[in-house]
Structure 1
Amino acid sequence: MSEQQAVDTGSGPARLDGDAILDLRIRNARIESLALHIFEQSRLLSAFLEGRACFDVPDTLARICGTGPVAYQMSAVQGLESALDCRPTAWIQAMRRVMCCGEWIASHSLHIYLLAAPDFLGFSSLAEMSRDFPDEVRRGLRLHNLGCELIRLFHASSSRAAGVRIGGFHHVPSKAQVRQLVERLRAALPEAEALVAWTGAIDLPSSEQAFINVALRHPDAYPMCGGTIVSSTGLNIAVESFERYFQVHRDPHSKTDYSLIEGRPYLAGPLARLNLNRDLLPGPVAEALRKTGIAFPSRNIFHSIVARAAEVYFAITDAIRLLDGYEPQASYVEARTRAGTGFACTEAPQGILWHCYEVDAQGRVMRARIVSPAMHNQACIEEDLFGALQSFGPERTDEELRQYGERVIRNYDPCIACSSDFLDLNVVRS
């Protein structure tokens, strides 16, 4: 490996990735300072890829994230294909988008029902919520399973998308498999529409935040793979230009990296995507959103649950569009090694996922750079917490502040929320 990093394990007890500590200093009912510490053990991810054959990278990265393995593979294969000048067919690109649809459906359903809805409806868990909302919980489980089935079409799984390779797939499904799944997708459309209505009817907190939205933008499709990087401040750049406009730093009081645009935090993920791309939604999805009465673009981060529901509905409709009249084709195009540099950016369920790879003439990875959705949102989470908790009321009890802080954080990257006990709160009042 060409890169070495020291891992500071500290002298305290062992901690899990995702453990979060929030330090608050409150004076005269005003928040004087706030610091969010999210523990993330150094994974040496980029250095781990260096020196490896580029053809090994997609399967390696599929193990990184349990809720976003498809997105990690899509950014990897597209970045490496760019470096190798390998150009998959339009059919392969369409089938990759089907896999992304499956991941969005599975991940968003998981987040809505396991994390967000219990928070907003006053339940401590999905099991507790299921006693009062049994039909809604069953609907969520059916939608999650449907998303997983879409991913498994390509001999992948919802936690390890091993069916993807540079140039295409290791396997393509039969017409009979696809026909059966399309029937299930069509049958799920009313449930997806009902999900938008249900989330839109939840009594969500009102918390206006002046955040910058960042997402991909495609000229004629709601963004998943490819396009330019745009922002609500007018940015519109090619993915190759990412490092000219975004600055990635190491958080001085945490063990995570974070990214800024022009020195400012920004929001990535479903709400940012919807705010910037709502004009590209198909008619039925746009109409379902209109019926909620929520005005988009929205500056209320709690509307992320509605954005996730809308993207579930969209992903089902898009998968039907892509698979209707399905005919199997060649599963991959051959990729030959050469020296080069490639870039790619996809929309993971949690936000944009940017990759860059430099490979040598033998196809070995000489340098890799990855900016994950958590890194995009880290600074925005902290800024949002400051404003949200100040509006909520610093005079409230520590337990009330902790619970509200968890709600705010859970609107962002679910990897933080579901990998640990979550939030410890340290409050100093004076």
Structure 2
Amino acid sequence: MPESRKLSIRVPILTRVEGEGALELDIDNGAITHLKFSIFEPPRLFEKLLEGRDCQEVPDITARICGICPVAYQMSAVHAAEMAFGVTISPWARDLRRLLYCGEWLQSHALHIHLLAAPDFLGFDSALAMAKIFPHVVKRGLTLQGLGNRLMRVIGGRSVHPVNTCVGGFYAAPPVAEMQALRVELAAAQEEAYELVRWVARLPMPADEQDFVSVALQHPDEYPFNEGRIVSDAGLAIDSADYAQHFEEFQVPHSTALHAHLHGKAYLVGPLARVNVLHEQLPAHLLALLAGSGVQFPSRNMFHSMAARALEIAYCIDEALRLLDSYTLPDQPYVAFTPRESTGFGCTEAPRGMLWHRYDFHADGTVKTARIVPPTSQNQARMEQDLHQSLHAFGLDNDDAALRLRAEQVIRNYDPCISCATHFLRLKVTRT
């Protein structure tokens, strides 16, 4: 099959970036002449598996796409169905979804910062080695991660692949006593979260300024989790229904993970993109925690993505406390609806970035077709671009072990998935 035809085919599947990856570098005369970042995870056919399923099955099925950010997949799915069927959820359900999202961001960001990224900046090869010298740092990370998991368990029914979310709201309302207990734990962790921002901002980070476009959801009244328009720092401002008119997914021969472009160019989604675009919506007392550090937003240094995650952890603690202050039991945790033949779009912010869904439904509420665009595939092209520029700046005369470590650090900035981010890389370097 001709190469051009391969690239024009959109494979109706969803791949998950997990397992091992490889980076091939050809270096000629001190310059990279070829760079190929490959992901090998086989397709899992989620988009096809959803066809024929009832709309209420979709949130639980899509949650299985990822064990770290199942809430994001559920939320994009329920928002798409609610748009398709004209469902307006209650303010109580909206607040509870926001609170559930706080839990997911907390556990994902805390795990990434303390167990995956921090060892890079402190000179350790693992979090276990780091814990021997900095036990309080690792303990803080596990505490914050555990708190996020408890939020997800109390609200969602369990911490991994929650089961309480449904089209129209929630199947059941969490008990008041358990929510009040969560509030006590969150209040106790608030100062730790603030100190985390200060600590991360003081870490020695490479100076690696690059030019890229940041893309995120934007809501006029709040820092967004699961509602808003899609915007960029280059002037984009569209509704989620218009995503496919501006963004393009495409296959590359060397990877099972799809790549994506915005108007023909690579772009960034995720914590750094969000803070770059939306920093003015973060509370002033959180941004003040960066005072005196070398980290300021907006930033063109991808290594500042860890500071962006720390800011979002602090924001999640504050926001969860605000939402829990007014928590009461509703008369009914969900609203009834009538399915119809229609199309719906859902776009929310997973910990790793913007997650877009589209569903075409039959009149009985079953799925006709599904399309899911996860954040990792949206960042793939930007990751390759970043690797090319970062390794040049780092110095291609470094030995292969040093190049591998720097490449892994670059990829960890994007946190594409847990296993890829920790031990993903097989490096092949050809020098001429």
- TM bucket normalised to smaller: over 0.9
Correspondence for 1:394? 396
Contact 1:63 1:159 (8 Å CA) reproduced: no
1:410-429 to structure 2, matched below 5 A, reads 410-415=412-417, 417-418=419-420, 421-429=423-431
| Structure 1 counterpart of 2:324 | 323
Root mean square deviation, CA, Å? 1.7
SS in 1 for 2:317: helix
Q: Give, in whole Å, the separation in 2 of the partners of 1:99 and 1:372.
A: 19
* Equivalent residue, structure 2, for 1:68: 69
- In the alignment, structure 1 residue 34 sits paired with structure 2 residue 35: yes
SS at structure 2 position matched to 1:225: coil
**Residue identity in the other structure for 2:34:** S
Cα deviation, 1:276-298, whole Å, max 9, x if unaligned, reads: 00111123212113343412100
Look up the equivalent residue of 2:175 and give its one-letter code. S
AA aligned opposite 1:134: P
TM-score, structure 1 as length reference = 0.95
Query: What amino acid is aligned across from residue 369 of structure 1 in structure 2?
Result: R
The corresponding residue for 2:128 is 127
Match for residue 3 of structure 2?
none
Q: Tell me if structure 1 keeps the 8 A contact 2:112–2:415.
A: no
Identify the residue that residue 350 of structure 1 maps to in structure 2. 352
Partner Cα distance (1:39, 1:185) in 2: 39
Name the counterpart of 1:376: 378
Between 420-429 and 394-403, the greater mean CA deviation after superposition: 420-429
Aligned 8 A contact 2:115 2:141 in 1: no
Q: How far did 1:419 drift?
A: 7.3
How far apart, CA to CA, are the structure 1 residues paired with 2:105 and 2:61? 21
CA distance in 1, matches of 2:77, 2:141: 30
Would you say 1:92 and 2:93 are equivalent positions? yes
Q: Is 1:177 equivalent to 2:185 in the alignment?
A: no
Query: What secondary structure does 2:96 align onto?
Result: helix
Q: Deviations over 1:243-266 (max 9, x none)?
A: 000011012221111110011000
Moved more, 32-41 or 232-241: 32-41
Paired residue type of 1:175: V
Deviation at 1:371, TM superposition (A): 0.4
Aligned: 1:191 with 2:192: yes
* In 2: Cα distance, 1:68 partner to 1:119 partner: 23
Aligned partners of 1:271 and 1:301 also within 8 Å = yes
What code does the residue aligned with 2:338 have?
A: R
- Equivalent-residue separation in structure 2 for 1:336 and 1:344 (angstroms): 19
Aligned pairs for 1:181-220 (under 5 A) are: 181-220=182-221
Q: Aligned partners of 2:395, 2:133: CA distance in 1, in Å?
A: 30
CA distance in 1 between counterparts of 2:187 and 2:12 reads: 52
Paired residue for 1:158?
159
Instruction: Give the C-alpha shift of residue 156 in structure 1.
Output: 2.8
Partner residue in 2 for 1:279: 280
Mapped to 2, the partners of 1:4 and 1:197 lie a distance apart of: 44
Deviation at 1:417, TM superposition (A): 4.2
The secondary structure found in structure 2 opposite 1:272 is: helix
Equivalent position of 2:106 in the other structure: 105
1:379-411 CA distances to partner (integer Å, 9 max, x unpaired)?
000000000000001111011101100000011
Cα distance in structure 2, aligned partners of 1:78 and 1:282: 27
Contact 1:258-1:375 at 8 Å conserved across structures: yes
Structure 2 contact 102–320 (Cα < 8 Å) conserved? yes
Instruction: State how far apart, in whole Å, the 2-side matches of 1:307 and 1:115 are.
Output: 15
C-alpha change, 1:6 and 1:105, in structure 2 (3 Å) is: closer
5+ residue gaps, structure 1, are 8-15
CA distance in 1, matches of 2:12, 2:237: 37
Specify the code of the residue in structure 2 equivalent to 1:277. Answer: L
Could you tell me whether the CA contact under 8 Å between 1:211 and 1:267 is conserved in 2? yes
Distance 1:393 1:239 in 2: 41
Residue in 1 that maps onto 2:315: 314
Q: Would you say the 8 A contact 1:302–1:411 is kept in 2?
A: yes
C-alpha deviations, 1:222-269, integer Å up to 9, x for none? 111110000111000001100000011012221111110011000100
Partner residue in 2 for 1:341? 343
Distance of aligned partners of 1:191 and 1:419 in 2 relative to their CA distance in 1, 3 Å threshold: closer
Residues 1:196 and 1:269: Cα distance change in structure 2 (over 3 Å): same
Distance of 2:225 and 2:142 partners within structure 1? 23
Measured after TM superposition, the shift of residue 322 of structure 1 is: 1.0
Whichever residue aligns with residue 271 of structure 1, its letter is L
State the secondary structure of the residue aligned to 2:392.
helix
CA separation of 1:402 and 1:288: change in aligned 2, threshold 3 A = same
Say if 1:171 and 1:276 are closer, same or farther in 2 by CA, change over 3 A: same
After superposition, give the CA deviation of every residue in 1:114-145 in whole Å (9 maximum; x if it has no partner).
11001111111111100111111111111111
The SS at the match of 1:366 is strand
Cα 1:180–1:4, aligned 2, differ >3 Å: closer, same or farther?
A: same
Aligned length: 420
1:328-359 deviations in Å (ceiling 9; x for gaps): 11211112221111001000000000001110
**Distance in structure 2 (CA, Å) of the matches to 1:223 and 1:18:** 30
Aligned amino acid, residue 200 of structure 1: A
Call closer, same or farther: CA 1:6–1:194 in 2, change over 3 Å.
Answer: closer
Number of the residue aligned with 1:12: none
Matched residue, 1:407: 409
Partner of 2:304: 303
Identity over aligned pairs, percent: 46
Residue 10 (structure 1) aligns with:
none
Contact 1:246 1:261 in 2 (8 A): yes
Change in Cα spacing, 1:112 to 1:89, as seen in structure 2 (3 Å) is same
Report if the CA contact (8 A) 2:295-2:307 is conserved.
no
Alpha carbons 1:19, 1:416 under 8 Å: kept: no
Name the structure 1 match of 2:6: none
Separation in 2, partners of 1:316, 1:17? 29
In 2, Cα distance between equivalents of 1:162 and 1:26: 50
Give 1:6 shift. Answer: 10
1:47 alignment counterpart: 48
**Runs (4+) of structure 1 moved beyond 4 Å?**
3-7, 416-420
Which 5+ residue runs of structure 2 have no aligned equivalent?
A: 1-8
Give the secondary structure class of the aligned counterpart of 1:26: strand
Over 3 Å counting, the alpha-carbon distance change for 1:416 and 1:126 in structure 2 is: closer
